[in-house]
Amino acid sequence: MDTATKIINALIRLQERADLIRHGDGEVPGGLTLAETHTVHWIGTQPDANVTWISARMGMTRGAISKIAKRLQAKGLVEAVRPPDNNKELHFLLTPAGTRVFQEHALCHAKAWDTKLALLAAYGPEEQRIILRFLTDVGALPAEAKHAAGHGQKEGTRS
């Protein structure tokens, strides 16, 4: 198998493991879904977080965020409050249990960051520049090309 094919196969495996790579060992605090955990994260970073603000940060619809927020309320992680000057809007706040999940998630990200930093330390500055250039180019591919990369050749095959 040539080097280009090996790189493409490695990218496919990387794409399939994207959430695992972003979150270290992939465990989410409190048995929550990844979307629930990230909703807790965004609520924890913004004192007056509302559905519109969270949906913009997460790239999800307002309806999806509303459903997630209701589940988080049922789990005792989030409270919904109405600002005194706006009877229509709901703002979300973390409960003490939600704050613990927020802190655990931040720790998970910090550990994942350190792991990636240690991995990069094995490469010299020039190699890191090449890696960065390559990843930047991959990130700039149109969405349909990125999707197609995940359904390309299987390891050990060529066309």
Enumerate the H helices of 17-141 as residue ranges: 18-22, 34-45, 51-58, 62-74, 96-120, 125-139
pLDDT of residue 2: 78
Domain ranges of the chain: 3-149
Given this structure, which CATH class describes domain 3-149? mainly alpha
- Residue with the bigger pLDDT between 149 and 2: it is 2
- By CB atoms closer than 10 A (0-12, 13-18, 19+), residue 39 is buried
Tell me what pLDDT residue 100 has. 95
Report pLDDT digits (tens) over 114-157.
888 898 899 999 999 998 898 888 888 887 655 555 554 444 44
pLDDT (mean) for 78-106: 92
Q: Can you give the C-alpha Rg of the chain in angstroms? A: 20
For 32-70, what is each residue's pLDDT tens digit? 888 899 999 999 999 889 999 999 999 899 999 999 999
SS (H, E, C) 74-91: HCCCEEEECCCCCCCCCE
